[in-house]
A and B are shown apart, each in its own frame.
Chain A
């Protein structure tokens, strides 16, 4: 299995809703990432988990809450989002501690906040 699987592919939520995005990989990668991508812009790093521990939080608002329950699974819990949070949310994974490690990206969750 050489894929990163993201669910759902599309999500529409109201500003008072609570929802979660899910990311799964079975490649044995020990680093997992959440990126946010607005239209016609490059992705922006949100969170990095290394060995299931949060290692980087790029000053993301608390309405986004990441969770890494095990080495294969990464969640992003969403609560009280704003319309400007509408974007493509990408998950990625990679090895750690190798001089040159490749990334595998998921196909993303297209989030619309109404």
Chain B
């Protein structure tokens, strides 16, 4: 069982629509990350959350620690938002060091004009 589950796997929407991508995880975490990857490109970190809500431009990310669930919202979506959105978690540093990210499988978002 994957420790990080994302839904939907694929999402096609029209320009201007409100987009929601969901992420659930099954383990205790230090933080949850939302990442963006354009085709053939590197990864850009959008948000890092350990509680509550963060907003950056048209993007909003929320996390509910008790329910082990996070959502990424895009308001007034635009074709340039088309990308793969990846949810990832950092596990608690039991050893006190860096352990890398545990990734979900990603959501492939296409925004049509």
Give the residue name and chain of the A residue nearest to B92 (CB). A99
* Chain A contacts for B44, CB-based, 8 A: 105
Contact: B98 with A50, CB < 8 Å?
yes
* Interface of A, helix, strand, loop or mixed by DSSP: strand
Which size bracket describes the interface of A in this complex? 20 to 34
Give the residue name and chain of the B residue nearest to A34 (CB). B100
* Chain A contacts for B35, CB-based, 8 A: 105
Contact: A42 with B105, CB < 8 Å?
yes
Q: CB of A81 within 8 A of chain B? A: no
* Interface of B, helix, strand, loop or mixed by DSSP: loop
Given A42-B104, A99-B30, is A107 in contact with B42 using a C-beta cutoff of 8 Å? yes
Give the residue name and chain of the A residue nearest to B96 (CB). A97
Against B, the Cβ 8 Å flags (1 = close, 0 = not) of A91-113 are 01010110111111111101000
Given A99-B50, A100-B48, is A108 in contact with B41 using a C-beta cutoff of 8 Å? yes
A46 smallest CB distance to B (angstroms): 9
Distance, CA A71 to CA B14, complexed state (A): 45
Given A106-B42, A107-B42, A108-B42, is A96 in contact with B97 using a C-beta cutoff of 8 Å? yes
* Chain A contacts for B88, CB-based, 8 A: 42
Distance, CA A41 to CA B99, complexed state (A): 20
Using a CB–CB cutoff of 8 Å, the interface residues on chain A facing chain B are 6, 31, 33, 35, 41-43, 45, 48, 50, 55-56, 88, 90, 92, 94, 96-97, 99-108, 110
14 contacts between A and B (CB under 8 A): A35-B100, A42-B88, A42-B105, A42-B106, A45-B100, A56-B99, A56-B100, A99-B30, A100-B48, A100-B50, A101-B98, A103-B45, A103-B101, A107-B41
Using a CB–CB cutoff of 8 Å, the interface residues on chain B facing chain A are 30-31, 33, 35, 40-45, 48, 50, 86, 88, 90, 93, 96-101, 103-106
